[in-house]
Amino acid sequence: MSQPAQPTMLSCPDLAKRWGRDVKTIRKLIAEKKIKPNKITNMFPLDYIEAIEKADIDLDTVSAFALRAKDRKIEQLEKENAMLKSTLLQVAVTANEVAAQLMKGQAV
């Protein structure tokens, strides 16, 4: 029997249950800008919550400034990653074009 699909977004009550906290504490963390829900849905993306959990961040003691600095670094690295993927794709396309031209030259 398969397991039910895991949600991709968590509400405040869902997050409170997951972390063993009450909803007031979750709302306090939001007010302190230590965690941030999605602007449109006001829910938390599961990958965002898992990243916080993996980083083993103590939200009770960490400053909002330190978290914003981490967020900015992540955004910077994501942009850099996208740029590198684009460059790699361009190199692959160029390599394929060169290989095709070489194959044409050998066929003659």
Written as tens digits, the pLDDT of the chain (108 aa) is 566 667 799 999 999 999 999 999 999 999 998 999 999 999 999 999 998 898 888 888 888 888 888 888 888 999 999 999 999 999 999 999 999 999 888 765
**Continuous H helices in 1-108:** 12-19, 23-31, 46-55, 64-107
pTM metric for this prediction: 0.60
The residues facing 45 across adjacent strands are 9
pLDDT at 105: 82
Contact 7, 39 (CB under 8 A): no
